[in-house]
Amino acid sequence: MEKLIITAAICGAEVTKEQNPAVPYTVEEIVREAKSAVDAGAAIVHLHVREDDGTPTQSKARFKECIDAIYKVCPDVILIPSTGGAVGMTAEERLQPTELFPEMATLDCGTCNFGDEVFENTMPMMRDFGKRMLENNIKPEYECFEMGHLDTVLTMAKKGQVPGAPMQFNFVLGVPGCTPATVPNLCWLVNAIPAGSTWTATGIGRHAFTLAAPAIAMGGNVRVGFEDNLYLERGVLAKSNGELVAKVVRIAKELGRPIATSAEAREILGLKPLK
For residues 140 and 137, give the distance between their C-alpha atoms in angstroms, rounded to a whole number: 9
For residues 86 and 4, give the distance between their C-alpha atoms in angstroms, rounded to a whole number: 29
In sequence order, which residues have a C-beta less than 8 Å from that of residue 264 and are 6 or more positions away?
3, 43
**For residue 9, which amino acid is it?**
A
- Residue 33 — pLDDT band, cuts 50, 70, 90? very high
Task: Return mean pLDDT, the chain.
Answer: 97
Q: Any idea which fold 6-269 has? A: TIM Barrel (3.20.20)
Per-residue pLDDT tens for 86-142? 988 999 999 999 999 999 999 999 999 988 899 999 999 999 999 999 999 999 999
Q: Give me the phi and psi of 89, to 5 degrees please.
A: -75, 150
Beta bridge partners of 136: none
Q: Given this model, what pLDDT does residue 274 score?
A: 80
CA distances from 81 to 45, 92, 138 (A): 8, 15, 11
For residues 181 and 178, give the distance between their C-alpha atoms in angstroms, rounded to a whole number: 9
Residue 269 has pLDDT above 80, yes or no: yes
Q: Annotate 160-201 with DSSP letters as a single string.
A: TSS--SSPEEEEEE--TTS----HHHHHHHHHTSPTT-EEEE
